[in-house]
């Protein structure tokens, strides 16, 4: 379980996140949704110790993220931020192998190699494995980074807008992979999503944020509701049931 | 390019380097050397060869680390303040402690180099617009500002000549007893190799490194110490080797990528081969006189650097 207690982070006037209190259940996919500037990425960064908080506490499986050694945390939780500014000449294979760094410190055992292999296959990157990242398209690169996170093989996986840069096919592919990780291996996934329909179709729970606060949280079924979404996005969003999925029609 | 080819070039050029010079000395003389030939070999030729190796390897590796830490392919110790700060430190050590032993001079230069490099990194942290070329230019400007202070002080105290003698790299001054401080760079480069994985990860940024459990600040600090130490040792013993830390790393990155575990040996060897080549050219071109290495490296290096810049405008 990820336990976030009274977390506050201030940036400038009135920005940041304020007194956030939330528990994220184990073995589920939880989506953070909300308009731009709601503080979703900030919250995700604080939960994963990338950003210091001004007040409050976060613990993951009982490990306090501020006090626990970063090396130890790296075997329990992985975080992938948006990676547009990474432009190093590593091959996909090399990058994914770095995912094993918290476990092997750079000396890969046969088990490490197998994890790397599986992660590359999961993301269908075998044909590209020896290509340099700076030669790849944005979507291919995004898949490579997700493969690295898969190789890191942590109980908790935090992803900041993982579907950015991805076409429909690969967005669905990634969400299906995450679904399998939770259903088959009991992993916990927390992700910031912009497209609420992906949140609706694939997540178990949704946390909705706005202006640095949590507006509401709950099981996906309760959250994908016109009245709830009106409170989050200030928009009238009709919802239709299509093949058992609630789809939000927010285009008009 | 295979590492084996680099080794062959390295060995071949090393042998050539031993037998180029005013004193006639041929490989087949090795087994029947006269007293004088023996002296030349031990006092001049071998020390020169070793110092070429160490300076070439040291400055290339320092360039590579600096580029990783700044996350920019167009910075290097000689183009972003490190070398300039080290020369300021060396000048001050001459002014304040005129009879300082070489190690003390190096220590003072090192402290200045460390502060200078750290200051440059802090400036980078504050820049929002991370256009690679812009950052390289900021490095050059930063270095020039420090250089201006050095020149001013040197003029005022009539030390401009001795300053210029360090600034221009020159292996002809290398003699037994006057180059051994270069050995200080050996353990430091070994540490760079041991930490290669960590530097590669740090090169992908603080968030990325933290996710993998790396103590980012610690790795950056270690890197800065290595860069500052190697740069000041080479500067005070040989002089500056402009562009070396830029071109070698960029060439290696092209064919070998940025995984330091695999690119570091190439960077080190290619650096040594390049300096060996430049040194031999400088010794042959106007024989029996010599062109200082700073000039040959600078001319060849800037040409290669321009070529790299124009060839891959989007590459950084």
Q: Which structural domains are found in chain A, ordered by start?
A: 2-76+155-248 (3.40.50.300), 85-153 (no CATH)
pLDDT band for position A14 (cuts 50, 70, 90): low
Residues B67 and B253 sit within 8 Å (Cβ to Cβ): no
In this model, does residue A34 exceed pLDDT 50? yes
- Burial degree of B194 (CB within 10 A; 0-12, 13-18, 19+): exposed
CB contacts of A66 in chain B (<8 Å) are none
Alpha helices for chain B (secondary structure H):
3-18, 35-39, 46-70, 82-96, 102-126, 132-156, 160-167, 185-194, 196-202, 206-211, 216-237, 244-256, 260-285, 293-311
SS3 of A216, please? Answer: strand
Over the Cα atoms of chain B, what is R_g? 19
d(CA B147, CA A197): 59
Which stretch of A8-17, A102-111, A214-223 has the lowest confidence by average pLDDT?
A8-17
Global pTM exceeds 0.80: yes
Q: What is the pLDDT of residue B144?
A: 92
Structure tokens at B125: 């942290």
Across the range A32-59, mean pLDDT stands at: 91
B257 touches chain A (CB under 8 A): yes
Between the alpha carbon of residue B8 and those of residues A229, B28, B190, the distances in Å are 69, 20, 22
Question: Per residue in B65-81, pLDDT tens?
Answer: 999 988 888 888 988 88
Assign domain B3-15+44-309 to a CATH class: mainly alpha
Q: A189-193, A215-219, B15-19, B50-54: which range is least confident on average?
A: B15-19
Lowest mean pLDDT among A60-74, B22-36, B138-152: B22-36
Q: Say if the Cβ atoms of A88 and B200 lie within 8 Å.
A: yes
Using an 8 Å Cβ cutoff, are A36 and A211 in contact? no
Q: Where are the domains of chain B?
A: 3-15+44-309
DSSP class of A62: T
Which residue among B206, B215, B257 places its CB closest to the CB of A89? B257
Choose the weakest-confidence range: A178-192, B30-44, B136-150.
Answer: B30-44
pLDDT in tens, B75-106: 889 888 899 999 999 889 888 888 888 888 89
Give the C-alpha distances (Å, rounded to integers) separating A212 from A40, A160, A188, B21, B51.
Answer: 8, 16, 24, 73, 59
Q: Is A7 left (phi over 0), alpha (psi -120 to 50) or beta?
A: beta
Q: Using an 8 Å CB-CB cutoff, list chain B residues near A89.
A: 253, 257-258
How far is the alpha carbon of B276 from chain A, nearest alpha carbon, in Å?
28
Whether residues A134 and B211 touch (CB distance < 8 A) is answered with: no
Contact B204 A86 (CB under 8 A): yes
Asked if A68 contacts A119 with a C-beta cutoff of 8 angstroms, the reply is: no
Distance CA(B249)–CA(B77), nearest Å, equals 12
SS3 label, residue A210: strand
Give the Cβ contact number of residue A80 at 10 Å: 23
- Output the six-digit token pair for B261: 């575990």
pLDDT, averaged across chain B: 87
Residue B316 pLDDT class (50, 70, 90 cuts): very low
Beta bridge partners of A186: none
């Amino acid at each position: 379980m990820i336990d976030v207690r009274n977390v506050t982070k201030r940036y400038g006037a009135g920005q940041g996140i304020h007194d956030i209190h939330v528990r994220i259940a184990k073995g589920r996919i939880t989506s953070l949704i909300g308009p731009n500037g709601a503080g979703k990425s900030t919250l995700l960064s604080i939960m994963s110790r990338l950003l210091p908080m001004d007040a409050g506490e976060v613990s993951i499986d009982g490990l306090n993220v501020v006090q626990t050694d970063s090396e130890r945390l790296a075997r329990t939780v992985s975080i992938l931020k948006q990676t547009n500014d990474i432009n190093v000449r590593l091959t996909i294979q090399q990058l994914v192998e770095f995912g094993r760094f918290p476990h092997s410190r750079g000396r890969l055992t046969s088990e490490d190699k197998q994890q790397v292999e599986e992660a590359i296959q999961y993301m269908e990157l075998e044909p590209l494995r020896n290509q340099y990242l700076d030669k790849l398209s944005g979507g291919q690169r995004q898949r490579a980074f997700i493969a690295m996170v898969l190789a890191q093989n942590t109980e908790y996986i935090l992803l900041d807008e993982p579907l950015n840069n991805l076409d429909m096919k690969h967005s669905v592919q990634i969400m299906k992979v995450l679904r399998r990780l939770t259903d088959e291996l009991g992993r916990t996934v927390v992700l910031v999503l912009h497209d609420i329909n992906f949140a609706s179709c694939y997540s178990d729970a949704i946390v909705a944020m706005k202006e640095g606060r949590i507006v509401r949280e709950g099981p996906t079924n309760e959250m994908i509701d016109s009245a709830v979404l009106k409170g989050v996005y200030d928009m009238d969003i009709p919802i239709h049931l299509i093949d058992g999925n609630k789809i939000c029609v927010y285009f008009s | 390019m295979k590492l084996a080819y680099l080794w062959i070039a390295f060995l071949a050029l090393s042998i050539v380097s031993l037998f180029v010079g005013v004193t006639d000395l041929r490989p087949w003389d090795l087994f029947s050397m006269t007293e004088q030939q023996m002296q030349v070999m031990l006092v001049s030729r071998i020390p020169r060869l070793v110092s070429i190796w160490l300076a070439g390897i040291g400055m290339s590796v320092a360039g590579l680390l600096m580029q990783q830490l700044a996350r920019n392919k167009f910075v290097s110790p000689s183009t972003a303040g490190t070398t300039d700060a080290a020369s300021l430190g060396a000048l001050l050590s001459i002014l304040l402690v005129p009879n300082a032993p070489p190690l003390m001079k190096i220590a003072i230069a090192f402290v200045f180099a460390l502060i200078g490099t750290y200051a440059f990194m802090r400036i980078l942290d504050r820049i929002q617009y991370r256009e690679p070329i812009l950052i390289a230019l900021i490095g050059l400007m930063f270095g020039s500002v420090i250089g201006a202070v050095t020149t001013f002080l040197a003029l005022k105290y009539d030390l401009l000549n001795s300053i210029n003698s360090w600034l221009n790299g020159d292996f002809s001054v290398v003699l037994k007893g006057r180059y051994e401080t270069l050995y200080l760079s050996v353990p430091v480069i070994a540490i760079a190799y041991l930490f290669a994985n960590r530097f590669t990860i740090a090169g992908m940024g603080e968030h990325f490194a933290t996710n993998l459990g790396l103590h980012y600040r610690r790795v950056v600090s270690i890197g800065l110490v290595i860069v500052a130490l190697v740069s000041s040792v080479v500067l005070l013993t040989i002089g500056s080797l402009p562009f070396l830390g830029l071109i070698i790393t960029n060439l290696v990155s092209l064919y070998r990528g940025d995984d330091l575990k695999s690119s570091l040996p190439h960077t080190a060897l290619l650096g040594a081969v390049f300096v060996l080549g430049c040194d031999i050219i400088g010794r042959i071109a106007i024989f029996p006189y010599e062109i200082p290495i700073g000039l040959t490296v600078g001319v060849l290096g800037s040409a290669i650097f321009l070529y790299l810049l124009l060839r891959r405008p989007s590459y950084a």
